[in-house]
Chains A and B, each alone.
Chain A
């Protein structure tokens, strides 16, 4: 069903077709208030802390000084920070872009062609993985990957201590498992929105499923792909979940940036440094978003 926006609809002076100014501000104000107080102010405050040497205990707690870019310089010469950066990029690319998005799409695509019952069942299972609370989920995976009696080893007949020998791979797989549901749902809506006629034409013209995929489906759901990649990249990059499984270890092999921040904040109570890392993460998020958005715009030309 194709909907069209009526051409020549009545608009008021500001070009808004339906809402009047008063109503608009009324609708927006509660959200604005909450966002300003509980989002914008703390965010800026945190970034501000990044240029101080504030700590939660010690002398710098009562007497924090503004040290400008010192924290950032420290980060740039901190091997732990670079390790964390590397780990997080691998984690994000591996589990979000290559994992969740791809798996989510194929799930949506293949399930779309199956019976409703099968589809519901599989979807329920995939979504359940997404819904289980973090502290429980980490427990489930510690059990699943346990070296002695874990389910995975029971199936493979091995005794591998996954979390010690393949920690990064383990948390990548874990994160794919955890987050695919969102992509699957989003792509399900995407696939459902493709006009049936287009695919019909392609099929009649003799195109294989693979070709249909490439020539019709993917271009049609382009905006969805972008939205999905954008959101899950941001979410995964900032993800803290794996901490509950590996504590960032062994050593620092799975110390994601969010965990690195957590360690500096909660263990060393060094909030100045932790905040500077958070600010750097914000910057990286910004760059990543820009990349995704501009890639999107370029291709459509």
Chain B
């Protein structure tokens, strides 16, 4: 879809220059800190300096000596994908309902849930979450972590997904209804395909939030074989609390790449946008 502005606008050269300058400076600003992540892991003697003086894969080799390193990445993937799936499978229908059904205090209700989610993702909720998991017998389980993570992310996910469904014209659903389609079919065949980009974005968002989450796995998981990368990262620190730059850099690289790849994929397939109420 061609940018409707480009053809029309005439930019003055000063505008062009400022735009260009802006873009370059901002890009550098965002790029420079990340650059280290792509150099240091491959440097045989990494320091905090941005350099690649001694290219080698030694850091990765050293990191692999930790028998749980790769396993933890797999665990992160399980937690994150699980949470993402739960969010879209449960959040999308809920968002759809909240979008279509107007009840008094609906918006207020949603805002309150949003506020509560910030309490629950803080350290103070640690003990209640632990005791709750104990009571429901989901301590040290994959699904325990997934449900708790999902609980914390659902309000925001529903909030954003509701925006997507708000922008969907009801005419299609109403026609389908006339033809006797059940609500479930309407959701599955009419609504979902249209908001698929939104679902993909929310999945990635939930995935990324879970991927980096330390607190919940820390509270719930004890078995080292279920430990995610977020927690495992700290085992590459020495006794003194010093980070061993070599292994931390290597592990950090492997820990980051999956989410970046996921973003690229979703961006290419659907475009990565938080479409919000395209209002009439």
The interface of chain A, by Cβ under 8 A from chain B, is 2-6, 9-10, 14-20, 23-24, 26-28, 30-32, 34-35, 37-43, 45-47, 49-50, 54, 56, 103, 106-107, 110-116, 118, 120-136, 139-144, 146, 148-152, 154-155, 177, 180, 182, 185-186, 188-190, 193, 196, 199-200, 203, 209, 223-224, 227, 231, 234-235, 237-238, 240, 258, 261-262, 265-266, 271, 274-275, 277-279, 281-282, 285-286, 289
Is A35 in contact with B113, judged by CB distance below 8 angstroms?
yes
The interface of chain B, by Cβ under 8 A from chain A, is 3-6, 8-9, 11, 15, 19, 22-23, 26-27, 29-37, 40, 47-50, 86, 89-91, 93-94, 96-98, 100-102, 111, 113-129, 132, 136, 147-148, 150-152, 154-156, 158-159, 163, 167, 169-171, 173-174, 177-178, 182-184, 186-187, 208, 211-212, 214, 229-230, 233-234, 243, 248-249, 252, 255-256, 259-260, 263-264, 267, 272-280
Dominant secondary structure at the A interface: helix
Residues A3 and B169 in contact in the complex (CB < 8 Å), given A125-B30, A126-B30, A133-B212: yes
Is A135 in contact with B214, judged by CB distance below 8 angstroms?
yes
Q: How far is the CB of B86 from chain A (nearest CB, A)?
A: 8
Q: In the complex the two chains form, what is the Cα distance from A144 to B33 in whole Å?
A: 6
Residues of A within 8 A of B173 (CB): 17-18
Is B8 in contact with A34, judged by CB distance below 8 angstroms?
no
Is A47 in contact with B119, judged by CB distance below 8 angstroms?
yes
Contact of A238 among B118, B127, B263 (CB under 8 A): B118
Q: How far is the CB of B210 from chain A (nearest CB, A)?
A: 10
In the complex, what residue of chain B is closest to A133 when comparing beta carbons? B212
Q: In the complex the two chains form, what is the Cα distance from A211 to B156 in whole Å?
A: 34
Residues of A within 8 A of B158 (CB): 31
Residues of B within 8 A of A111 (CB): 23
Residues of A within 8 A of B119 (CB): 42-43, 46-47, 278-279, 281-282
Q: In the complex the two chains form, what is the Cα distance from A178 to B95 in whole Å?
A: 28
Q: In the complex the two chains form, what is the Cα distance from A30 to B183 in whole Å?
A: 16
Q: In the complex the two chains form, what is the Cα distance from A20 to B183 in whole Å?
A: 7
Contact of B47 among A30, A107, A149, A203 (CB under 8 A): A149
Q: How far is the CB of A149 from chain B (nearest CB, A)?
A: 4
Residues of A within 8 A of B30 (CB): 125-126, 128-129, 177, 180
Q: How far is the CB of B240 from chain A (nearest CB, A)?
A: 15
Q: In the complex the two chains form, what is the Cα distance from A62 to B237 in whole Å?
A: 34
Give the one of A16, A18, A118, A150 with max B CB within 10 A: A18
Is A3 in contact with B94, judged by CB distance below 8 angstroms?
no
Is B37 in contact with A136, judged by CB distance below 8 angstroms?
yes
Q: How far is the CB of B156 from chain A (nearest CB, A)?
A: 7
**4 closest A-B pairs (Cβ-Cβ)?**
A38-B151, A23-B183, A27-B93, A31-B94
Q: In the complex the two chains form, what is the Cα distance from A209 to B8 in whole Å?
A: 13
Give the one of B115, B129, B252 with max A CB within 10 A: B115
